[in-house]
Amino acid sequence: MKRSSFIYLASIMVVAFAFSSCTGLKKMKKKQGVITYTLAPNPLEMHADSVVVNVTGKFPEKYYKKKVTCEITPVLKSASGTEVALKTIKVQGEKVQDNNAVINLLAGGGFSYTDKVAYTQDMRICDVNVKIHAVVKKKFVDFEPVNVGKGTIATPGLLEKDSKAIFGKDKFVRIIPETREANIMYVINQSGVRPGEMSKDEMKALKKYLANAQTNPRKDIKGVFVSSYSSPDGTEELNAKLSTNRGTSGTTAIKGEFKKYEKAKTQGFFTEKATAEDWDGFQSLMGASDIADKDLIVRVLSMYSDPIQREKEIKNISKAYTQVADKVLPKLRRSVLTVNVDSIGRSDKELDSTFNANPSVLSIEELLFTATLTKDLNRQLSIYQTTATQNPNDWRGFNNAGAVLIQQDKNADAKAQFEKAKSLDAGNTIVLNNLGASSLRDGDFVKAEEYFKSAGGAGSEVNYNLGICAVKKADYNGAVTYFGSYCTFNAALAKLLTANTDAANKAIDCAEDKDRDMMYYLKAIIGARSSNTDLMYNSLRAAISKNAKLANDAKTDMEFAKYFNDDTFKSVVK
């Protein structure tokens, strides 16, 4: 550099120095240590994927010069040197003609600052610095950056996307009650069974059914119920005797079909009930008949409760009574033989073996139930895929296959199955929940929540999934309510984030997977927050023994910041 240029540059610096001295900038910078700062919270905290930075500052009395404007900018500086500058605010001295907050020379003053930035991993260990750029007209001085805090607690970021899918339930019933009936008709005032009654078509069908049922191991004949009746003509005393005798003759007739059936010999296998005068049957047949005065006769039934008076009034309708005697009364003189049978379905073992050998013979309900007999996800998937193939119009096969796939972390395949199920039943709340579960695992929490809110009533899984969304939005109290009595990592995390460390610990202890790495890691955080170093160190050791990567995570986790220099901590995370 030429000597003349050097002299010129030096002259400029001297002038600038002299000017800054006159404006008070140099003096303010020299004494910047009297400015006090407070960061809240400290360390910073991540919530809803963002970090809110609150900084307050205090300028003391007789410090702030009247013509100075200070531009204040908090900066997050990561360990790698990357800086994230937050918004800038300005304060000014008493003689500055601007619209910023004024700091008095004699009284001093302060500022309050809030900004929010998206969270990044670099913020786990970072310096929170405050930079001040002080200006008087065109002259300026940059104060030395002041560190006001370090690091960000990012525990909400441990949230697991373990959204729960719901299976469509089977309607499998292993034992299905069956009934078969046949009528024995009688001549007026008679109770003997005529030979022709035992050879008519309905009786032949009953006999054939009984013959098959007695030799079929999947049929269990529970008993025979004989209901016998008399028509409401004649005296009540005669009709009572007739109906009882008809019940006896009917029972005797059907007993002949059970000669080789041992169970028929047990007491109570055959039961009888006699109805002396079948007025209910009479009214039903009258209502269905084409008799001209049927409405009048039915009205008589409602007007008189005494059977003798009823019969008398009906007979007074002479023309109609002839038709009643021909068309209605004969149908009431009967015994109804009702056979009750339990049809027994395949056992669990038979269902399993039948699926292996020939799944096509299984009904959809049998297939869906068979899938519940195993915890092997691959076998479940195979059964549900077969169900969907054999029953392409039923949403459950596709839906349940998707529910298995989502447990296998095959979310794209799961989503395709849920979409097929939705095409078959668009408004099905179970399917809508499952589409939400798939969206959540894809990281689309907004779309997922829309699905969950449309899936109300589908099951407790919907609330659980809404709980995950609530944690994501930093609604921790809402999440606790949604999770209810669930014992999972996320349920414990939500309780911890509401500062309920005891409840969080209990939620882990009752979890089925309480011995996995992240459960122990969360317990270590619980220990740190509750100053229980035994719980913290023991849990951290267990977590790292299961997943060595967690050692590095712990080293940069501000939950453990006050233990970073502790020898025990260092030995655990080495």
Cα 66 from chain centroid?
A: 63
pLDDT digits (tens, 9 = 90+) for 384-419: 999 999 999 999 999 999 999 999 999 999 999 999
Q: Which residue, 64, 67, 79, 214, is CA-closest to 143?
A: 64
What gap in Å lies between CA 116 and CA 47, rounded to an integer?
10
pLDDT band at 287 (very low <50, low <70, confident <90, very high): confident
pLDDT band at 506 (very low <50, low <70, confident <90, very high): very high
Residue 7 has pLDDT above 70, yes or no: no
Q: How confident is the model at residue 197, as a pLDDT? A: 96
Contacts of 184 (CB under 8 A, 6+ apart): 193, 197, 198, 203, 246, 249, 250, 253, 334, 335, 337
Residue 18 has pLDDT above 90, yes or no: no
pLDDT band at 233 (very low <50, low <70, confident <90, very high): confident
pLDDT band at 465 (very low <50, low <70, confident <90, very high): very high
Q: How confident is the model at residue 292, as a pLDDT? A: 77
Q: How confident is the model at residue 326, as a pLDDT? A: 87
Phi-psi sector, 360: left (phi>0), alpha (psi -120 to 50), beta: alpha
What gap in Å lies between CA 523 and CA 512, rounded to an integer?
15
Please answer whether residues 478 and 470 qualify as being in contact, where contact means their C-beta atoms are separated by less than 8 angstroms: yes
pLDDT digits (tens, 9 = 90+) for 158-205: 999 999 999 999 999 999 999 999 999 999 999 999 999 999 999 999
Residue 8 has pLDDT above 60, yes or no: no
Q: How confident is the model at residue 294, as a pLDDT? A: 76
pLDDT band at 129 (very low <50, low <70, confident <90, very high): very high
DSSP letters for 462-511: HHHHHHHHHHHTT-HHHHHHHHTT--SHHHHHHHHHTT-HHHHHHHHHT-
Q: How confident is the model at residue 392, as a pLDDT? A: 98
| CATH of the domain spanning 177-344, picked from 3.30.1330.60, 1.10.1270.20, 3.20.20.60, 3.30.70.100 | 3.30.1330.60
In terms of DSSP bridges, do strands 219-229 and 270-275 run parallel, antiparallel, or are they unpaired? Answer: parallel
pLDDT digits (tens, 9 = 90+) for 353-386: 999 999 999 999 999 999 999 999 999 999 999 9
Q: What percent of the chain has pLDDT over 90?
A: 85
Residue type, 398: F
pLDDT digits (tens, 9 = 90+) for 33-73: 999 999 999 999 999 999 999 999 999 999 999 999 999 99
Min mean pLDDT across 75-89, 311-325, 347-361 is at 311-325
Q: How confident is the model at residue 358, as a pLDDT? A: 97
pLDDT band at 301 (very low <50, low <70, confident <90, very high): low
Q: When comparing pLDDT for 526 and 327, which is higher?
A: 526
Residue 15 has pLDDT above 50, yes or no: no
Average pLDDT over residues 17-39: 81
Residue 9 has pLDDT above 50, yes or no: no
Domain boundaries, the chain: 3-153, 177-344
Q: How confident is the model at residue 1, as a pLDDT? A: 40
Cα 406 from chain centroid?
A: 14
Q: How many C-beta atoms lie closer than 10 Å to residue 536's C-beta? A: 25
Q: Radius of gyration over alpha carbons of the chain, in Å?
A: 44
Residue 13 has pLDDT above 50, yes or no: no
| CATH of the domain spanning 3-153, picked from 1.10.10.10, 2.60.40.10, 3.40.50.2000, 3.40.50.150 | 2.60.40.10
Residue 5 has pLDDT above 50, yes or no: no
